[in-house]
Amino acid sequence: MTEQNTHIQVEALSLPLGAGDGPLNQAFADYETKNPQYGERWLANLTLHALDDTDRAVIYVARRSADDFIACPLKVDTQRNSASSLSTFYTSAYSPVVCSDSPGDLFQALFQYLAGQEGISALTLSPMNAADPLFAMVRDSLELAGWKGRHDFFCFGNWIHDTGDESYQDYLASRPSKLRNTIARKTKKFLAEGKGQLELVTGGDALEDAIADYVTVYNHSWKHEEPYPNFVPELLRLAANRGWLRLGIAKYEQQAIASQIWLVCGNTAYIFKLAYHEEYRRLSPGTVLTAYMMQRVIDADGIQRIDYLSGDDSYKADWMSRRREQHGIAAYNPRSPRGLAMLAGHTLKRVLKSFIKR
């Protein structure tokens, strides 16, 4: 623990967090209800199963008192001595945990600590909601803490739909007629003669078989091989334990040909992973399964929002009604030789880009 001034202390903690710090544990639990990706359990799973050998997960906490603090989960690259948000390509939303009415100076103290005592050369925080006031606070605090070359950057689009009190039929009526017709036609064809079945697994004895079905479908899909193959199966077990899991499986003639991972938490259904067997593309199992999942989470779970997470895939505009953007923030530490070199490179790139535009 290092004291930044007479009022604020900064400490670096490992995951999983100990049970002795009640306010910190409660803050992470509260943030988990906002988005599972903000919670300690998600971050601990990511730390165990989705980091490279040179990465180290650290929860940096800047604290004014026991109940007045911020916590910033970071991934430190021990080779380059740079840091980024504790996230991977699996992550669609990142947020520091704030338990303070005046967090600005807490962020400033934390970023000063990273630049000074930790000697971090570069810092990147993403993906974050640029419309959230917290984004601007973090950005401004970096500059006040002495970081240079601070810049924002676009990460990806994020499609959502607010369901309110609508039923699935209300939702379906609001979608384009082409999509409605496709759902009706393809679902009828898929289920004809009892060849197709749709299943939803939330846990229990069926979980491990459903996980195996998901892995089989994924391995026969168009998607790249998973670089961290244990992360998703462990996430499915975690989600089942937490009551979040909605794992959809489409089978045709008893073979799993499509699978979708949805997480329901805090009145939101997050569409985390989609995959289908390429040899069965003609059956549109992805469309059929998505419609089935939509009906279940709207009518049975009574969710208020559906979140397609990351990506501007064109089909998402048919299913969703509103687009947001996720952005990131990056800056360099001029007190670090590597940070100074990266700052020079960034500045030169900006000058050349401005010159080319003229």
pLDDT digits over 65-120, tens only? 999 999 999 999 999 999 999 999 889 999 999 999 999 999 999 999 999 999 99
Element housing 348 (H / E): helix 337-357
Say which amino acid occupies 190.
Answer: F
Residue 270 · residue 256 · CB < 8 Å: no
pLDDT digits over 256-296, tens only? 999 999 999 999 999 999 999 999 999 999 999 999 999 99
Residue 133 · residue 103 · CB < 8 Å: no
Q: Do the domains 2-155+326-357 and 164-303 sit in the same CATH topology, yes or no?
A: yes
Helices 40-49 and 231-242 sit at what angle, rounded to 10 degrees? Answer: 160
In sequence order, what E strands does 119-209 have?
A: 122-129, 148-162, 196-201
Is the pLDDT at 4 greater than 60? The verdict is no
Q: How confident is the model at residue 223 (pLDDT cuts 50, 70, 90)?
A: confident
147: how many CB neighbours lie within 10 A of its CB? 25
Alpha-carbon 170 to chain mean position: 29
Residue 232 · residue 274 · CB < 8 Å: no
Element housing 234 (H / E): helix 231-242
- 356: Cβ contacts below 8 Å, ≥ 6 apart: none
Residue 263 · residue 248 · CB < 8 Å: no
pLDDT digits over 290-346, tens only? 999 999 999 999 999 999 999 999 999 999 999 999 999 999 999 999 999 999 999
- 43: Cβ contacts below 8 Å, ≥ 6 apart: 15, 57, 59, 73, 86
What is the spatial distance between Cα 129 and Cα 325, in angstroms, rounded to a whole number?
7
What is the spatial distance between Cα 260 and Cα 262, in angstroms, rounded to a whole number?
6
pLDDT digits over 107-120, tens only? 999 999 999 999 99
Q: What is the CATH number of domain 2-155+326-357?
A: 3.40.630.30
- What is the residue extent of each domain of the chain? 2-155+326-357, 164-303
Would you list the DSSP string of 10-43?
EEEEPSSPPTT-HHHHHHHHHHHHH-GGGSHHHH
Alpha-carbon 290 to chain mean position: 20
Q: CATH top-level class for 164-303? A: alpha beta
Strand 322-332, strand 148-162: pairing: antiparallel
**Which residue is listed with tokens 């998703």?**
232
**pLDDT value at residue 2:** 44
* Pairwise pLDDT comparison (39 vs 222), residue with the higher score: 39
pLDDT digits over 160-212, tens only? 999 999 999 999 999 999 999 999 999 999 999 999 999 999 999 999 999 99
Residue 296 corresponds to which tokens in the numbers above?
Answer: 């279940």
